Structure 1
């Protein structure tokens, strides 16, 4: 199953035509889901949704009275739609501005364009580094926390293909703050060891030959360990 980052999901959604609210006919607004869920607590299912923020939309106008009459709460609903589908549902709001903080506005879109350019530039650098077997550049991008996750993930994969033993030391003890990147780094370190028939000493963690019986660094017996 292919993994998509939030950036990839957003890029795909931005290429789609925004749906129209089935209740008022207004164009719906792209909305980033908050870090908490509602209702059954199972989550939103998508990182982005389309939401109708038209304050004259019938379900929104009628919802205030319906929820107050039935549940004695001051709240209403807004129509929402899952991207790439025609599945429309309702989400609760508790004020007129409720949820507006997650609207993907022009500033967010501009930031997305900047991110796309950074990813494009990072991939271009990685492509050149791969051709020239420049593992130093690949490691630099991998360790740079300001690089987009997609670039770091690609660098983590690439270092396993072109990295020499010297590439292991700076990345094996680093923590990348992303489980997928971390897993790919661990896989690449293992791949480099396999290519050079090496392993880590179980006592001092220095790199030794896979078939070594005594660690040349700490002098411990590593046969069968």
Structure 2
């Protein structure tokens, strides 16, 4: 199963032509999903959507009356589109300003430019670290939460290929909060063990030889574990 970072999704969405609202023909705005999902709380499966924010849109204008008559609530609808598809659905809004705080057309463009520069700088550093076999430098980039996800993912991959056994402990002591990075770090640890013929004691978590029968740290039998 393939996963994409937020930066990768944003890069793709920005490159797409903006769809026009099927209800009013107005070009839709790029919109970022808020931290707290609306509706059933499950989200839309993508961090970005296209939303029509035209107050002259027939869906929006007529939605106020429809919801009030049907549900006795003061609300309306905005038309939304899933990027890269012909799927248009409705999103409830509860005021004329509802959802506008998540419009990110200009912000997204500026953010993307900053992200590109940060990624370029990070990859240049990683290339330098690879040439000089600078494991601590790779580790610094991986552990820095301000670095772009792409840079941190590549750093984890390189640590798996070049890292020493001593790299495992700091990796195990960090929870990255990003599923993709955590998975890549776990893969890196497995690679380091494979290259050095080591493993972790299932009782004390210290590093031991893969073929060890007894852990030299805690004295427990580890044969067959």
Whether these two folds match at TM > 0.5 is yes
Question: C-alpha deviations, 1:110-148, integer Å up to 9, x for none?
Answer: 223212211221122223323443222111111112212
1:214 deviates by 4.3
Question: C-alpha deviations, 1:52-79, integer Å up to 9, x for none?
Answer: 1111112211211222122221111111
Q: What is the TM-score normalised by the length of structure 1? A: 0.89
5+ long unaligned stretches in structure 2: none
Question: C-alpha deviations, 1:139-158, integer Å up to 9, x for none?
Answer: 11111122122221221122
SS in 2 for 1:37: coil
Match of 1:91 in 2: 91
5+ long unaligned stretches in structure 1: none
Match of 2:13 in 1: 13
Relative to structure 1, the CA distance from residue 213 to residue 88 in structure 2 (aligned partners, 3 Å threshold; closer, same or farther) is: closer
Match of 2:144 in 1: 144
- My pick for the range that moved more, 2-11 or 104-113, is 104-113
Relative to structure 1, the CA distance from residue 170 to residue 41 in structure 2 (aligned partners, 3 Å threshold; closer, same or farther) is: closer
- My pick for the range that moved more, 20-29 or 50-59, is 20-29
Relative to structure 1, the CA distance from residue 79 to residue 220 in structure 2 (aligned partners, 3 Å threshold; closer, same or farther) is: closer
How many residues are treated as equivalent by the alignment?
Answer: 224
Q: What is the TM-score normalised by the length of structure 2? A: 0.89
Relative to structure 1, the CA distance from residue 202 to residue 67 in structure 2 (aligned partners, 3 Å threshold; closer, same or farther) is: closer
Match of 2:56 in 1: 56
Relative to structure 1, the CA distance from residue 179 to residue 89 in structure 2 (aligned partners, 3 Å threshold; closer, same or farther) is: closer
Match of 2:109 in 1: 109
Relative to structure 1, the CA distance from residue 197 to residue 76 in structure 2 (aligned partners, 3 Å threshold; closer, same or farther) is: same
Contact 1:37 1:44 in 2 (8 A): no
1:213 deviates by 3.9
- My pick for the range that moved more, 194-203 or 67-76, is 194-203
Match of 1:199 in 2: 199
Relative to structure 1, the CA distance from residue 90 to residue 201 in structure 2 (aligned partners, 3 Å threshold; closer, same or farther) is: closer
Residue correspondence of structure 1 range 1-225 to structure 2 within 5 A: 1-34=1-34, 35-38=36-39, 42-218=42-218, 221-225=221-225
